[in-house]
Amino acid sequence: MKNQAKIAYSRQTIGEADINSVIKVLQSDFLTQGPVVPRFESSVASYVGTQYAVATNSATSALHIACLALGVGPGDVVWTSPITFVASSNCALYCGAKVDFVDIDPLTANMSIVKLSEKLEKAKKDNSLPKVIIPVHYAGQSCEMSAIYELSLKYNFRIIEDASHSVGGCYLDKLVGACVYSDITIFSFHPVKIITTGEGGMALTNNISLFDKLVSYRSHGITSDPLKMLPRPAEEIWNYQQLFLGFNYRMTDIQAALGCSQITMLDSFVSRRREIASQYDSMLSDLPVVTVEQSVNARSSYHLYPIRIRKSICGKTQRDVYDFFKKFGIGVNLHYIPVYRQPYYEKMGFTRGYCKEAEMFYSEAISLPIFPNLTNYEQTYVIDILREILGE
């Protein structure tokens, strides 16, 4: 235990091909809005089996324009999971809507279908049904999308999958992103995620009218398609028109070039992550920690590998274990503080105890390092440290 390893919880994997791909764009005519963004969009769309893809400068902006495309605005309510990054919820606030949270299933840390059904039934009586629900595929494991889809037919809400963790994951033999059970799926290409473009995100859909709106909101609400423009006097030059209030959420060709080479590595990244996860499963099998359960319907891409430290089982607190890992240079992390416990959300009136399972999860979870280049030696070191603090 003498050598002080420095191991992150996640990090990008960049190869020679990635570097060359970016250099090629730097030497070309276009740095942004060139031919590489559409090439990246079609490679992701064809990989996951979706009709349309809209690349953006982050998943956060993709979530924002996805909400706008579905008509979210003041007076609407959007529901998501409390165990997620704040972006899954902030996107609704950007639109002037309200947010609310559905507690998690303690076994998977994904939105609980039972809690969701109960909350919908109650909201129907109060006339406060959500316009959109944003399930989050926590750690890379898809939510039970067919059940959520069934509920959407009964209670008439739309679905945005926040699949920021789940690029390359599967649900019922289809890749996450195929939008079989949702209107729009969102991917993130932040460096800690499965593949990266530096910063970047994408919205995927099979609905052409949603696609048109996403494209428009991504770039100021401007169109240069003569068929979409309003009639104007022939002597005036109208090479573009702004029809809506949109944003500059465009991805650059430099980022897309990195994405194009990264996606060729996606299968191998996901298999390596799954291999590391299964090694953790067996290394942890005789230790007094709780792991996340895997549904038979989902095949996780393992963005995260969380364990739960429960004092009543192992005699140590989450803080004891977290601090001990940090002392040995292991960059464990915490995913997530329930969104509504954030000071900004508390100001909206959310209080402690609102989602009991989410809070329990928050008080126990620690994400162990997982990324394709984590070596077996480093992984063994992580488990050695854990054994030592647990006194096993």
Residues that bind ligand PLP (CB under 6 A): 58-60, 84-85, 87-88, 136, 162, 164-165, 188, 190, 201
Q: How far is CA 383 from CA 291, 310, 365, in A?
A: 14, 17, 16
Cβ pair 39, 197 in contact under 8 A: no
Of 59 and 175, CB closest to ligand PLP: 59
Smallest separation, CB 160 to ligand PLP (Å): 11
Residue 197 token pair: 């473009």
How would you class 5 by CB atoms within 10 Å of its CB: exposed for 0-12, middle for 13-18, buried for 19 or more?
Answer: middle
- The answer for residues whose C-beta is within 8 angstroms of residue 283's C-beta and 6 or more apart is 379, 380, 383
Residue 189 token pair: 């290409």
Smallest separation, CB 61 to ligand PLP (Å): 7
Alpha-carbon torsion 77, 82, 83, 86, what sign? positive
Smallest separation, CB 281 to ligand PLP (Å): 22
Of 88 and 216, CB closest to ligand PLP: 88
Of 190 and 316, CB closest to ligand PLP: 190
Residue 231 per-residue DSSP state: P
Residue 6 token pair: 């420095």
Smallest separation, CB 201 to ligand PLP (Å): 5
- Give the residues across from 160 on adjacent strands: 184
Smallest separation, CB 60 to ligand PLP (Å): 3
Of 86 and 360, CB closest to ligand PLP: 86
Of 143 and 314, CB closest to ligand PLP: 143
- The answer for residues whose C-beta is within 8 angstroms of residue 238's C-beta and 6 or more apart is 229, 232
Of 59 and 179, CB closest to ligand PLP: 59
Of 50 and 196, CB closest to ligand PLP: 196
- Give the residues across from 56 on adjacent strands: 201
CB 77: neighbour CB atoms within 10 A? 18
| CA–CA separation, 255 and 260 (whole Å) | 9
Of 85 and 305, CB closest to ligand PLP: 85
Smallest separation, CB 194 to ligand PLP (Å): 11
Smallest separation, CB 158 to ligand PLP (Å): 18
| CA–CA separation, 171 and 148 (whole Å) | 13
Smallest separation, CB 30 to ligand PLP (Å): 23
Cβ pair 6, 329 in contact under 8 A: yes
Smallest separation, CB 381 to ligand PLP (Å): 26
| CA–CA separation, 65 and 73 (whole Å) | 12
Smallest separation, CB 385 to ligand PLP (Å): 25
User: How many residues does this entry show for the chain?
Assistant: 392
Alpha-carbon torsion 232, 234, 238, 239, what sign? positive
Of 119 and 190, CB closest to ligand PLP: 190
- Give the number of C-alpha atoms closer than 13 A to the C-alpha of residue 260, restricted to the C-beta side: 23
Could you give the 3-state DSSP secondary structure of residue 270?
helix
Of 94 and 324, CB closest to ligand PLP: 94
Residue 373 token pair: 């280049």
Residue 53 per-residue DSSP state: E
Of 164 and 182, CB closest to ligand PLP: 164
Smallest separation, CB 200 to ligand PLP (Å): 7
120 φ, ψ (degrees, to nearest 5): -65, -40
